[in-house]
Structure 1
Amino acid sequence: MNEVAEKKPASASSTEIRPFQYKASDADLTDLRRRIDAVRWPERETVNDSTQGVQLATIQKLAQHWATKYDWRKTEARINAVPNFLTKIDGLDFHFMHIKSKHENALPLLVAHGWPGSIVEQMKIIGPLTDPTAHGGTEADAFHLIIPSMPGYGFSERPTTTGWNPPRIADAYNELMKRLGYTKWGASGGDWGAVVVDLMALKTPPGMVGIHTNMAGVVPPEIDKALFRGDPPPAGLSPEEQRCCEQLVFTYKHIGYAVMMGDRPQTLTGLTDSPVGLAAFLLDHDPKSYEMIARSIDGKPEGLTPDDVLDNITLFWLTNTALSAARLYWENKTPYFSVKGVTIPVAVSAFPDELYQAPKSWSEKAYPKLVYYNAPPKGGHFAAWEQPELFCKDVRAGFKTLR
């Protein structure tokens, strides 16, 4: 079993914030390598591209690296090098990192991850956002960072009952910021985190000055529904809106993972038994991200390295959270990409290789208090992880007028 160190467990009604550190057992790391070495490979795909999914050569290279060169202890040390905590919210233990800036007027910022992500996604932005003077910024750019693990992900507790959907997570995150005593703060998110911060903002909690999103919920609901059905986009769209529709049509054709998790998550039991099977499943989030990761595994420098990718996969494996994370799709009833009705200030980053690049015109309609919009020159779905410099630049700019 993994060795998890914390001071003491909390009662169901406790609001205590407890220090937390994590150490995987040597036995579990040995077992992981044994399972990688014992993998039974399928035959090669029958095409010369990735249209059938994760290619055999790609996953074999990653598995070889995982078994022979990858060192989880380095990642574990980086996690434990920053302050980690647990606190009970709505009956569930939430894990979060809480890194305070040395700068007096830093703005507290909750940063929310999604699937197949974790706190690993945000670790590259900790230094630049909490210590901007050491990373090309000024004291006025400083943030205190609060980085929670979603329920059933990483070090947060795995729900044993139904009901942990995005609105409930949003309520828990709002409660977390209140519990930490912050009276002026913001939030940022991508993937599920983008949905959650929209829903946090809908509650207009006291002190929330605004949000930043890199997967903006801006698609008009009627267009979103039509594209999901496979209908053509309406006439009269601008070139940017038309391109967004084309990207969404493509996205809706490549979400088999989400359909499976949304319908039958418990059937994915094999993900808890085979680390290589888990790796292949987590790699294949979307074609753009997969192609970028595959190039990296093949030795070409990209925004993510093989070690980056394995940090996240190994965290899923060691915490045995593949299925508990998958159930969020089964729980969800909130539209992913369409307008939610947010009325507080919003900053939008529209990365070109996101599932869809949110047009500025739709962003202005979806967020009536849009304070910042930018389309960075590169980057995709895992923006903070893949392009931390561009991500931090947008976060700083987005909250500049909200401090």
Structure 2
Amino acid sequence: MSSHRTEEPTVSASGGQATEQVITGFRAEVDPGELKDLRRRLAATRWPGAEVGSPWQQGPPVAYMKELCEYWAHGYDWHRCEARLNSFDQHITRIDGLDLHFIHAPSSHGGATPVVLVHGWPGSVIEYLDVIEPLRSPEDFGGSAADAMHVVVPSLPGYGFSGKPTENGWDIARIARSISELMLRLGYRRYIAVGTDWGAAVAMSLGQHEDSGRLLGVSLNLAFADPRNYDFEPNDEETAYHARQGAYLNGDNGYAVIQATRPQAIGYALDDSPAGLASWIVDKFHSWVDFDSSIDDAVDRDKLLDNISLYWFTRSATSSAGLYFEAFSSLFTDISPLDCPVAYTRAKDIFQISEREARTRFSDLRRYAGAARGGHFLALEQPAFFVDDLRQSVRALIDPPPNEG
């Protein structure tokens, strides 16, 4: 992977003192040799035997993977994705010793609300490409100028075009601090954090530790609550949510256990075999997206391969898995209360909580909503809904509650 960079010095205040920082312009550009090598490796794939049992029961079926990889090699156009990425202003800046890549899409409306959209695994900035323009220019997409947002979309450390950690300690709290510094460096003194998957964990960490004068609130598409704080028995809806969580913990989290304990071991396979990487990622998309008969119903095949290709060309399978080593063990145990304003939209996801469950953790829950369609990758699966829903959440977060109005 190669890129073009141009340095753009900016000044930000950190710790009360002005320091010069460098923000470098970035353009994605895959070397033609990398594309040739991808096709060579796909052609040389040693396929496993046919699956035993029902299709998808033990992972992606061989027939599906052969078809997907054939298309990846001979029908898919990475340059289309590359051009889409480069249609936005992209940058690199060094924070806490690590390069952080981000898309910056400020609105033309000076009073727009700054939002940072944070992805998770196995996602990337690709998840949010379809929602950036409607968020920053709402009047061009059926919305009101009053809903305009300044949009920042970072790649998590170890993911995509961001730098790869070379030391332990890049946990959720440290990532949250880097996001906070990024927003300050861009001149956004107040902002809203939006996230799902690991991005939701980062947003909630900001909700716990960011200065209340800076963080307007957090908007979540995935959230946890602590059952030890419930003073009620689960109803039918909540029982169904708990059953889905149990199914994940008992049969769908093998990838997480491996990445949380041996990310380097699995990395040799994932960073060496494109078919292996595709299978590893596709398995989770199939488990987590909301579809009727086929995964293609929920996520366009080209967009699925855009996301997989980004992992492949940046060789970030190992480094992204490292976040599980740093943070997965505490994900279900560190469920601290949040006192900041929160908006939560319940997607048809692995983890779902009811409104009364949410209120046991979020003391200032400004909005609770449910998506009729769309799963774990809500912005990718249902971009129009995501845009409208986030507009409503941002309104709720920036307006004072009735008792303070």
Name the counterpart of 2:225. 218
Q: Deviations over 1:197-252 (max 9, x none)?
A: 000111132321111000012243589xxxxxxxxxx9821222211211110110
Q: Offset at 1:168?
A: 0.5
Tell me, in whole angstroms, the C-alpha distance in 2 between the residues paired with 1:336 and 1:142: 35
Contact persistence 1:265–1:330 (CA under 8 A): yes
Name the counterpart of 2:341. 345
Normalised by the length of structure 2, the TM-score is 0.91
Q: Deviations over 1:355-398 (max 9, x none)?
A: 02221111122111001110111110001111111111111101
Other structure's SS at 2:76 match: coil
Q: 1:294 to 1:169 in 2, by over 3 A?
A: farther
Q: Does 1:310 align with 2:305?
A: yes
Tell me, in whole angstroms, the C-alpha distance in 2 between the residues paired with 1:110 and 1:240: 31
Q: Offset at 1:339?
A: 3.2
Identify which of 350, 366, 380 aligns with 2:375: 380
Other structure's SS at 1:46 match: coil
Instruction: Tell which deviates more after alignment, 392-401 or 73-82.
Output: 392-401
Name the counterpart of 2:15. none
Other structure's SS at 2:288 match: helix
| Ranges in structure 2 where 5+ consecutive residues have no aligned partner | 10-18, 399-405
Other structure's SS at 1:334 match: helix
Q: Deviations over 1:71-109 (max 9, x none)?
A: 000100110110001111111110010001122221000
The number of residues matched between the two structures is 385
Letter in 2 for 1:175: E
Q: How does 1:270-309 map to 2 (within 5 A)?
A: 270-285=269-284, 288-289=287-288, 292=291, 295-297=294-296, 302-309=297-304
Q: Offset at 1:401?
A: 3.4
Normalised by the length of structure 1, the TM-score is 0.91
Q: Does 1:242 align with 2:239?
A: yes
Other structure's SS at 2:397 match: coil
Contact persistence 1:220–1:338 (CA under 8 A): no
Q: Does 1:366 align with 2:366?
A: no
Letter in 1 for 2:298: G
Letter in 2 for 1:121: E
Q: Deviations over 1:277-321 (max 9, x none)?
A: 000001112653368498145xxxx23111010000000000000
Letter in 1 for 2:278: A
Contact persistence 1:218–1:338 (CA under 8 A): no
Tell me, in whole angstroms, the C-alpha distance in 1 between the residues paired with 2:247 and 2:23: 44
Name the counterpart of 2:2. 3
Other structure's SS at 2:309 match: helix
Name the counterpart of 1:34. 40
Contact persistence 1:109–1:187 (CA under 8 A): yes
Structure holding more strand per residue: 2
Q: Does 1:81 align with 2:121?
A: no
Q: Does 1:167 align with 2:167?
A: no
Other structure's SS at 1:174 match: helix
Tell me, in whole angstroms, the C-alpha distance in 2 between the residues paired with 1:75 and 1:219: 40
Letter in 2 for 1:49: P
Identify which of 129, 138, 141 aligns with 2:144: 138
Other structure's SS at 2:188 match: coil
Contact persistence 1:211–1:345 (CA under 8 A): yes
Tell me, in whole angstroms, the C-alpha distance in 1 between the residues paired with 2:55 and 2:289: 12
Q: 1:14 to 1:317 in 2, by over 3 A?
A: farther
Tell me, in whole angstroms, the C-alpha distance in 2 between the residues paired with 1:186 and 1:370: 14
Letter in 1 for 2:294: R
Q: 1:105 to 1:305 in 2, by over 3 A?
A: same
Tell me, in whole angstroms, the C-alpha distance in 2 between the residues paired with 1:242 and 1:7: 53
Tell me, in whole angstroms, the C-alpha distance in 1 between the residues paired with 2:368 and 2:143: 20
Other structure's SS at 2:21 match: coil
Q: 1:290 to 1:67 in 2, by over 3 A?
A: farther
User: How well do the aligned residues superpose, as a CA RMSD in angstroms?
Assistant: 2.1
Name the counterpart of 1:230. none
Q: Does 1:329 align with 2:334?
A: no
What's the % identity of the aligned pairs? Answer: 36
Name the counterpart of 1:256. 254
